Amino acid sequence: NAGVTQTPKFRILKIGQSMTLQCTQDMNHNYMYWYRQDPGMGLKLIYYSVGAGITDKGEVPNGYNVSRSTTEDFPLRLELAAPSQTSVYFCASSYSGVRNTIYFGEGSWLTVV
């Protein structure tokens, strides 16, 4: 009963460090998404993918990179961490776009100091 699984749950990074947030789903969904949620600001779309090998920028892509080599996995890469990237990150997936049910992971809390 896994659904969408994100790792790590919590991470503290120093300014300038790099890291990858992992996301995997076991529902054979075509669409996957990465959102960030800042306090009082709702969720903002970073990147999304409509299938393996295809990725597109969302509302706030700067400072991030993604890849989608398999249907199951959609990692999010932060190359040079900045304090502005302190946030809660959610990975999500859906079968065929946002009009279908979107399933979210439990979130990854990232602090950049």
Partner 1 sequence: TQLLEQSPQFLSIQEGENLTVYCNSSSVFSSLQWYRQEPGEGPVLLVTVVTGGEVKKLKRLTFQFGDARKDSSLHITAAQTGDTGLYLCAGNNNNDMRFGAGTRLTVKP
- Residues in the site for partner 1, rule: CB under 8 A? 4, 31, 35, 40-45, 48, 50, 58-59, 90, 92, 97-99, 101-102, 104-107
Q: Can you tell me the distance from the alpha carbon of 97 to that of 110, in angstroms, rounded to the nearest whole number? A: 27
**What's phi and psi for 83, nearest 5 deg?**
-55, -30
For partner 1, the closer of residues 45 and 52 by Cβ is 45
At its nearest, how many Å lie between partner 1 and the CB of residue 80?
26
CB of 38 to partner 1, least distance (A): 9
Of the two residues 14 and 101, which places its CB atom closer to partner 1 in the complex?
A: 101
Closest approach of partner 1 to the CB of residue 53, in Å = 17
User: H/E/C letters for each residue in 20-66?
Assistant: EEEEEECCCCCEEEEEEECCCCCEEEEEEEEECCEEEECCCCCCEEE
